A and B are shown apart, each in its own frame.
Chain A
Amino acid sequence: MLTYIARRLLISIPTLIFISLVIFLLLNLAPNDPMAQVPLTVPPEVKQKMREALGLGQPLYVQFLKWLIQLFWIEPQVFIDYMFNTSFSEGKLRVISWQTRSPVMDIIVQRMPQTLWVVGMSYVVGILIAIPIGIYSAYKQYSVFDQVGTFVTMIGYSVPPFFTGVFVIVIFSVQLGWLPSIYDTTHTVVDWETFKIQLKQMVMPVMVLALQTTAMINRFMRATMLDNLNQDYVRTARAKGLSEWTVVMIHVLRNSMIPVITVIALNVPAIFGGAIITEQVFKVNGIGQQLIGAIYANDLPTVQTITFMFAVLIVLFNLLADIIYGILDPRIRYD
């Protein structure tokens, strides 16, 4: 098991370096000038100095190395300083946003809780809805329940979040006026009343994202349950006289959950990607909106860092999925 995990860990290092290279080259080979916003009255020599201060005059590989060092060496030091009140990172240059002139990571840390709260909640809700429906649809294959479930799944698969989001805003905010259409992140929960407001503003973004999750996981859950229900061991269990509940909920479900759990892990990054659009629809000032804002403002360091963090998420959860699969299913480890 340990060698298996070690091998997977080693593979993910070149992957991360490749991805950071792609992101870096894409952004740096493209023609654009961070000094474009600087007034024309600033003399060219000063502009040149400003460019050098941003580290733009150097060859590409030096820039890339510096970026890697900032990201993998200095930023973790800042984090350790913050956690243990040490001073490793004093005087070292961090990744600075061109938009706000403050460290990118600080802004990300401010924005992250909103994204995590909405995305995480929607993922949990989606899974909780999808798994029971998937089990029951597979158990009653081709029943009315199954047909309806499959159709709803197909809709969740096909209708993009920027339409479901706008659609629920039209119905619940504009027509009925029940729910606020804008997510207010400055709102703090202190008592029952504020909790209700928080609940109200979270319902729509969470449900819109949860529809996507439900569709994906329900479809998968149903398929693996169907695969397992026709196996010999199920017939044996029934022949032994076990109750139907034990057969389905213990024997079949446990075997079906193995691939489903890995799919749940694999799709976490995709949900973050979907959150970019949902955040835009509901005006949640999370990390996705920060990315869009940075793209509009031509703020390369922020764009690079956030894109890279999405990549880290993907690699991390791929690794996690592989390890979980290895733990749950011993056959996987020994190949």
Chain B
Amino acid sequence: MTDNLNINAKPRSKIKDVWDQFKSHKGALLGAIIFFSIVLLVMVGPFIWPFDANQIDIRSRNQGPSLLHPFGTDQLGRDTLARMMAGGRTSIAVGLAAMALSLFFGSFIGVTAGFYKRLDGVLMRFTDLFLSLPLLPLLLVMMLLFREPLSEAYGPERGMFVLIVVSIGITSWMPTARIVRADVLALKEREFVLAAKASGTSDTFIILRHIMPNVLSPIMVSATLGIANGIITESALSFLGLGFPPDFPTWGRLLNDAVDYLQQFPERVFWPGLAISLTVLSINYLGDGLRDALDPRMRKR
């Protein structure tokens, strides 16, 4: 058997292994391409597109799709494509920021609970308690209660952004914390951590240098699901009319506005709904592929 081992083979890096496995999952690859195209479109689009999202042109209101306005215009003559891109910017920004916050809380609590045995019981009970909170009603209540003080402090748009991101962040960290804790518990008993401990390395350094890189893969998978969750929650809040102010487009807000014109212009609900669904679908496929790619057992050597 040793003859078959090619000693001169190039050393394979982990990143290349992961990429090779990821490529073999067609849905994940397509999901990644679609997601990054959407992100690119909403980031760069507003600079290229001649219409502004809030530019009112009352004479060309309620138009159907045309060359000038590919997605038509709304009841105030604002270009729907421009509003879609502006809305996507906000929705995706909320998704990313909420994901970052929830990952931070989740990994912090997960690593602390896994690494320090004394804190484990308390922190996990705390996580369980959070898991039994009714999240959507609480989010709605938070929107109701803190909207005005934050709007006064940071301005209506930024205040709402902070509020939505923070509320989603503090209500979605629990699954990450549980997964990370389980991984840390297993890692803690491994030889390299024991060796680091024996040689007198400080706890902080062990966590940062030895534990964190090894729990990165579950964290990355949670990250993709976190973006999807953030986008859906923000859209749901905006759809219920408890999100961003009415003149500030997000995908959920656009969908909510379109519902008022359901009888006359039914096609209007289509674009924002499609954008939300396509983004979330591509992220979910991306997450699926990432999970397979980062799992060494799935990787063919």
Contact = CB atoms under 8 A, between A and B. Distances in A.
A157 B284 contact: yes
A307 B137 CA distance: 6
Interface residues of B, number: 41
Interface string B120-146: 000000001100111111101110111
Contacts of B132: 15, 19, 311, 314-315, 318
B273 A307 contact: no
A104 to B, nearest CB: 14
A295 B237 CA distance: 13
B269 interface: yes
Given A166-B262, A170-B262, A311-B132, A291 B140 contact: yes
A204 interface: no
Contacts of A314: 132-134
B177 interface: no
A253 interface: no
Interface in A3-48: 15, 18-19, 22-23, 26-27, 30-32
A23 B138 contact: yes
Interface string A150-164: 000011011110110
Contacts of B259: 166
For the complex, would chain A's binding face be called helix, strand, loop or mixed by DSSP majority? helix
Interface stretch (B94-102, B104-112, B228-236): B228-236
Interface in B232-275: 232, 235-236, 239-240, 242, 252, 255, 258-259, 262-263, 266, 269-270, 273
A125 interface: no
A273 interface: yes
Given A170-B266, A175-B266, A314-B132, A27 B140 contact: no
B285 interface: yes
B147 to A, nearest CB: 10
A34 B160 CA distance: 23
A162 B145 CA distance: 24
B236 to A, nearest CB: 6
Nearest to A280: B240
Contacts of B262: 166, 169-170, 174, 181
A158 B228 contact: yes
B145 A291 contact: no
A170 B269 contact: yes
A233 interface: no
B280 interface: yes
Contacts of B283: 158
A124 interface: no
B134 A311 contact: yes
Interface in A287-335: 291-292, 295, 298, 303, 306-307, 310-311, 313-315, 318
Interface of A: 15, 18-19, 22-23, 26-27, 30-32, 154-155, 157-160, 162-163, 166-167, 169-170, 174-175, 181, 269, 273, 276-277, 280, 291-292, 295, 298, 303, 306-307, 310-311, 313-315, 318
17 contacts: A27-B141, A27-B145, A154-B281, A155-B281, A162-B252, A166-B259, A170-B262, A170-B266, A181-B262, A269-B134, A273-B134, A276-B137, A276-B240, A307-B134, A310-B134, A311-B133, A318-B132
